[in-house]
Structure 1
Amino acid sequence: MSDAVNKAHSDSDIETKSYRELHRPSSEFASRSDYLDHELQIMKPRRFGLNLPGRDFRFELEDLVPALAGTIGIIAMYSAVMMSWAEGLTAAWDHVNLGKDFAIEVARVEMLIPALLFCVLASGFINPKANLAGNHGPMIPLIGTIALAGAHPLALAILIGV
């Protein structure tokens, strides 16, 4: 980190003052990197408390790229998982015929629930220092087999989690 960032606030200032008091506009820094380093130093997320943008942290332009990439990736992953599950279940049972419409609807629900519960509430407002909750990623190769057995991938996730 640059000296400008380290000299801006003493350790006691960072401990006693709020994020709003310590925040400075990016125009006061020599480079964007210095500004972002400063933001990381003064960020004060509360653990297991309500964290509000502007009071405890700020969104920056750099946050948009990983957010969009993650959104596109999770949509692709959930679509593949649900299509594999639907095809496996249809192949296992003659009376079940699940098509693309089913996979799309389930993927929507699966994306909404984790996005709202885990990403926004748990990791955004309640405990932003925590890593995001996991998803079906490691189980993708097993989805077809799980569906052929007539089960939902969540059963394996719970088994692994316990």
Structure 2
Amino acid sequence: MAIAPAYEFKPHERPFLPGSPATPDHPFGRRVGYFATGILLGVTGGFSNGLLIANLPQIQGSLGLTPVEGGWLTAVSSMTSVCMSMLLIKFRQQFGMQRFTRVFLAAFLILNILQLVVHSYGVQLVVRGASGIVASALTTLCFLYIMQALPAAARLSGMIMGFGAS
């Protein structure tokens, strides 16, 4: 069995920064797949927080929370999401995109299962904080996938679309 030679990136296809993805020239079908995956990741990252905000009165009632305690559930998610953006860039540079994707998709699954099983305010605060971190990672993956789907001249607008999708 012959081993295929390693792909040699053209100068314009190489990653701009260490840890960032390369941007090879993709065929149209693959670009559509990247775009659809990016939108799915963005919507998924924002969906958890959207459900929490929409159902906050019911969650407060079932856990016996005051309005201030309910507000902390949404605040802790937003705070961790905003604070982790810069640290996630460092994680991506240090460990690469493949490990970044695997770690945060697995964390997303575990945290969503925990939200369904655990009915304690303290644990929910921790889970919501970790969900903010994961949502920030999914937003990053969202705009990186959308940027792969677009031609070089439109990649910056892909980042804006990615933030909008989440």
Same fold (TM over 0.5): no
Q: TM-score, normalized by length of structure 1?
A: 0.45
Which structure features the higher share of helix residues? Answer: 2
